[in-house]
Amino acid sequence: MTTDARAEIDRIYREEYGRVIASLVRRFGDLDIAEDAAGEALLTAVERWPAEGIPPNPGAWLTTTAGNRAIDRIRRESLRDTKHQAAMIINDDTPHEPTGAVSDDRLRLMFTCCHPALAPEARIALTLRLLGGLTVGEIARAFLVAETTMAQRITRAKAKIKAAHIPFRVPDRDDVTDRLDGVLTVIYLIFNEGYLAAAGDDPVRADLTAEAIRLGRIMRGLLPDDGEVAGLLALMLLTEARSTARISGGELVTLDQQDRGSWDHALIDEGHALVRECLARVAAEQSRPGRYQLMAAINAVHTDARDARDTDWTQVVALYDQLYVVEPTPIVALNRAVAVAELDGPEVALAIVDSLALDRYHAWHAARADLLRRLGRSADARSAYDAAIAATQNAAERAYLARRRDECIAQGTHKGKVDSALPRVRAEEAGVLERLKDA
């Protein structure tokens, strides 16, 4: 098999993994059987597709093959009572009748993985593994933890589901909101992993960003009056609108350098409309916006500016101040510091950045590098760029960081504009100008 053929099979498998797993879990009610069967289907595809050709509907082929492998496993294990009978029923052609408030298999699995019996971090990790098709290493990087730690977390979560007999179904509509925060978090992380793919030569995984937006639209239809649901969808749309301008010649293009004419303005208009809706709801209810509404608002500020120089940094900092109250994390503080650099200068921002315990996060090193460069500390900046390069596996980001490092050495103490898009909460968090309220 050629390298290109195997790469194409791997790509298809990653894109279809969530659908295959969700279908198998719904049918068999067992995570281990679903994962093992999906893996066997991949091996079969690797053996047969190079000679026979990729089928017209590879997702359906993988699902059917995996289903057959699952039935074979059940028969081999001689579970001929409830499981074997269930497997025979599965062969019936009668259409599946969905239950609960959600009819989509993947969203149903997501709600199941977000069961309150599981720890919050386990819910997210398990869903990213099963629905996003991410490797344990990719999930570990998203959480900034060791791969062994993440593997143990996922194993424990699966064991908990089996031991507690957690059903693979969606709660009643009135109870959906109990798991809403976990579900929204998972959708956001799936989007982030696609938009800022952590590893490999492809810097963007469009299948994951599209899946996250699809799930976000389903959630919007399910809970049309929820501000955080609207905020998350707006955040993803406004971020996705800039995706085609993010990469050029295999290198990351930071927000201030992007061709804004190439942005998808239909997505921007839809995102801005959702942000205005959130603003109106907050004003009417005199409530405090949640983190997704605030991040969408920050994104709207950036996408509303015709030129990077027109960005209302005062508004961005004010929104980050609100976000830090809602979510007081080091990563939010890092993003706020980048905006502060535009208002108060790099020295003030560097003091904030240096106080954050994020030395395993590549964007922290990248932020320090740029601030040090602006302060004329070339040697320190080069070391920080080296650390940032070592901390990321994204090829486009590595190319960008390497070029900036080399320019820093060549230009010595040259001072330039901060690359405000690098340090971000995985999805380049950004949000809304006050004048959008009246748009």
As separate numbers, helices (DSSP H) first and strands (DSSP E) second, the chain gives 19, 4
| CA nearest to 420, candidates 382, 362, 366 | 366
State yes or no: pLDDT of 267 exceeds 70. Answer: yes
Average pLDDT over residues 391-399: 89
- The pLDDT tens digits of the residues spanning 31-60 come to 888 989 999 999 999 999 988 899 999 989
Q: 235: exposed, middle or buried (C-beta count within 10 Å: 0-12, 13-18, 19+)?
A: buried
Q: What pLDDT score was predicted for residue 175? A: 60
Percent share of the chain, pLDDT over 90: 46
- The pLDDT tens digits of the residues spanning 154-168 come to 998 888 888 887 766
Confidence of residue 87 (pLDDT cuts 50, 70, 90): low
Least confident stretch, 87-91, 96-100, 351-355, 409-413: 96-100
State yes or no: pLDDT of 250 exceeds 60. Answer: yes
Q: How far apart are CA 150 and CA 159, in angstroms?
A: 14
Write phi, then psi, for 328 (nearest 5 degrees).
-80, 70
Q: Which tokens hold the place of 347?
A: 């020295």
Element (H, E) at 363: helix 362-374
Q: How far apart are CA 303 and CA 433, in angstroms?
A: 10
Q: How far apart are CA 358 and CA 331, in angstroms?
A: 8
Can you say whether the dihedral through the CA atoms of 388, 394, 398, 9 is positive or negative?
A: positive
- The pLDDT tens digits of the residues spanning 307-338 come to 999 999 999 999 999 999 999 999 999 999 99
- The pLDDT tens digits of the residues spanning 104-153 come to 777 778 777 888 788 877 887 888 888 777 788 878 876 778 899 999 99
State yes or no: pLDDT of 420 exceeds 50. Answer: no
| CA nearest to 364, candidates 350, 379, 347, 345 | 350
Average pLDDT over residues 424-437: 34
pTM of the model: 0.72
Q: How far apart are CA 286 and CA 295, in angstroms?
A: 19
Q: Please identify which residue in the block is written with the tokens 């809403």.
A: 180
Q: What pLDDT score was predicted for residue 74? A: 85
- The pLDDT tens digits of the residues spanning 367-378 come to 999 999 999 999
Q: How far apart are CA 287 and CA 274, in angstroms?
A: 17
Q: How far apart are CA 309 and CA 298, in angstroms?
A: 16
Q: What is the mean pLDDT of the chain?
A: 82
Helix (H/G/I), strand (E/B), else coil: 415:
coil
Q: How far apart are CA 252 and CA 422, in angstroms?
A: 9
- The pLDDT tens digits of the residues spanning 9-39 come to 888 887 788 888 888 888 888 888 898 999 9
DSSP assigned state of 100: S
Q: How far apart are CA 395 and CA 249, in angstroms?
A: 11
Q: How far apart are CA 370 and CA 382, in angstroms?
A: 9
Q: Which tokens hold the place of 91?
A: 């062969």
Element (H, E) at 247: strand 247-248
Q: What pLDDT score was predicted for residue 148? A: 92
The strand pairing partners of 251, in sequence order, are 248
